[in-house]
Structure formats: structure tokens, C-alpha cells
Amino acid sequence: MINKKYPFNKSDEEWREILSVEEYHIMREKGTEKPFSGKYNTHFEHGIYLCKSCKQELYKSNSKFKSSCGWPSYDNSIPNSIDYKKDMTHGIIRTEILCSKCGSHQGHVFDDGPTKSGKRYCVNSASIEFKPN
């Protein structure tokens, strides 16, 4: 996590109680789900995508697009909902995206999006949940 005290914070034990094994691995240990396996990859209903850990609103459905990369993709986030951290794992430089309320790992953002923003927020389905309009 970045050097920040998040307003919604839990002990490691508390996170393990409220998250599934897969959710914990992805959101607290910076894991990644297998491509094309997440339930929101091809989900295009109208509503808001929330952080699975703390329920903060992160992405509006109108920012979601079909990227064919295997993970849900958005061209922007709700203002102030995401923190950004330089990630140099796997021998490449990427930008990690974290929920700004609880610090949970969401995925990474790339500068290869096809929309006007030029961004592709590549998010793990296990890190989010959907609230319909």
C-alpha cells in the first residue's frame, strides 16, 4: 500500500473475515484473477461499480467499455475515488490503482484506452461489486 492512512481500515484478521480467499488475495495481496474469468468482464448494465471492501463508488457504468483484454475496463474513475502508485513488479513499470478509502488493490491503469481519455482502468472483478441504477 502507499504511505497513507486510509479512513476505512481493518486489521489483517478482520479483512480475512469479510473477504473470500480470492478477494483477500487480490485486494490485500495485490493478486490478479485469471483473464476472462471475472463476472464483470462482459457486464454492461447501468449503475455504479463499488469497491468490494468498503463500498466506495469507483466507476460509473457509462465509463465501461469492451476492451477484450480479459478484465473489466473503464476509461475513467469517479473523481477522488482512486489512488495511484508506481508498480515496478514483473520487470515493467505500471500504475497500480487502489481504492482511496480503504487502499484495496483494484488493478492497473494504462495509457492505451480507445476513448477520448486515452485511459484503460483494468480492474479485477473480485475487487468490485455492482449497484444497479
* Beta carbons of 121 and 73 less than 8 angstroms apart: yes
Strands (E), 1-133: 47-51, 57-60, 64-65, 73-74, 82-87, 94-99, 105-110, 120-123, 128-132
User: Pick the catalytic residue: 51, 54, 102, 122?
Assistant: 122
CA–CA separation, 64 and 71 (whole Å):
11
Given the C-alpha cell 469479510, which residue does it identify?
Answer: 18
Length of the chain measured in residues:
133
99 is catalytic: no
Instruction: Tell me the catalytic residues.
Output: 122
